[in-house]
Amino acid sequence: MTMNVIWHPGQRSESRPLKITRSRAWIEMGSLLSQTVIHPKLMWKPAYEPDLFRRKINSVPPYSIDLLDIIGIVPVKYIDRNEHPFARPSCSFKVITVSERYFLFEAEDRGTRDKIVFGLKLIIARLASKVLVAGDVAEDEFFTPGGRQVHEAWWLEDEK
């Protein structure tokens, strides 16, 4: 299952402003290869691909963050308008990494933002606890030999 978000890249002092992009985000499972572990990732890519009408595959790879590199997922209270001029604080959240970079995303509304933030925190906490308790990575719900998307996004389902 994918999440619909708007990615707001930082508008630092670059000559060309970066595009705000409506994106599809998902959790990509990791892979256990013979001598390498590829960690599960939060991934996103533009939801609109302009060259699709020509049946040309978009060659831009998706953006990604290793789940174990994420140190914080927080709803936004204040937005620096010089860096993110169009983000709505009530619907936005930051993903903060160990390298002190942050990524600003905007959900459709406050309720969806809260579900995404809560769900991502749960997934990262579960993965981190399994790695810490087990001591090594066992093939389980976060890893697969071929790598695929985590399909269960129960935190996004509407409550009845």
Q: pTM for this structure?
A: 0.79
Residue 160 pLDDT more than 70? no
Region 68-93: mean pLDDT is: 92
Region 65-85: mean pLDDT is: 91
Return contacts of 107-111, CB within 8 angstroms, 24+ apart: 107/3, 107/4, 107/5, 108/4
Helix (H, G, I), strand (E, B) or coil at 73: strand
pLDDT for the residue numbered 147: 44
Segment of 21-30, 73-82, 109-118, 122-131 carrying the highest mean pLDDT: 109-118
Q: Which domains does the chain have, with CATH numbers?
A: 3-137 (2.30.29.30)
pLDDT for the residue numbered 60: 67
CA 126/CA 138 separation, integer angstroms? 13
With bands split at pLDDT 50, 70 and 90, how would you rate the model's confidence at 120? very high
